């Protein structure tokens, strides 16, 4: 499998995990955790934008366009950020995202995002 094909697979998996985490974030009312005004209404708009940008990035990546490589690197960074910020909140004792499925999603983002980031950087 080529680096490009590997990156496409990593992108699909990482994007799926991140979007599943976003669904979980709605359950936990993550906007309160980050003190974001607008509640669920702004959260819905935010997630729509994430889906559109993420799907566009996947299309660009499959098509072999440079924008896909850049968006893959950004997606890897988003996965790392999600893992790190939630690890911080969990370490501080926050009770959200402590269910097994929530934790598995977050933990899976770490190695997947690192692999995706390294694969992305190797393509530049």
Residue 64 backbone phi and psi in degrees, to 5: 80, 20
State the pTM of this model. 0.92
d(CA 30, CA 40): 9
Q: Where are the domains of the chain?
A: 3-122
Per 3-state DSSP, what percentage of the chain is helix, strand, and coil (rounded to 5)? 80, 0, 20
Q: What would the pLDDT profile of 39-85 be if each residue is shown by its tens digit?
A: 899 999 999 999 999 999 999 999 999 999 999 999 999 999 999 99
Q: At residue 2, does pLDDT exceed 90?
A: no
Contacts of 108 (CB under 8 A, 6+ apart): 17
Helix, strand, or coil (residue 63): coil
Give the tokens for residue 103: 């934790």
d(CA 95, CA 109): 20
Q: What would the pLDDT profile of 10-27 be if each residue is shown by its tens digit?
A: 999 999 999 999 999 999
What pLDDT score does 124 carry? 84
């Amino acid at each position: 499998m080529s680096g490009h094909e590997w990156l496409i697979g990593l992108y699909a998996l990482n994007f799926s995990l991140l979007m599943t985490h976003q669904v979980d974030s709605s359950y936990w009312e993550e906007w309160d955790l980050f003190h974001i005004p607008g509640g669920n209404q702004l959260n819905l708009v935010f997630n729509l934008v994430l889906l559109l940008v993420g799907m566009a990035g996947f299309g660009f990546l499959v098509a072999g366009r440079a924008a896909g490589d850049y968006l893959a690197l950004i997606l890897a960074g988003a996965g790392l950020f999600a893992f790190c910020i939630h690890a911080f909140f969990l370490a501080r004792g926050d009770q959200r995202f402590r269910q097994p499925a929530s934790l598995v999603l977050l933990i899976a983002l770490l190695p997947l995002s690192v692999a995706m980031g390294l694969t992305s950087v190797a393509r530049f």
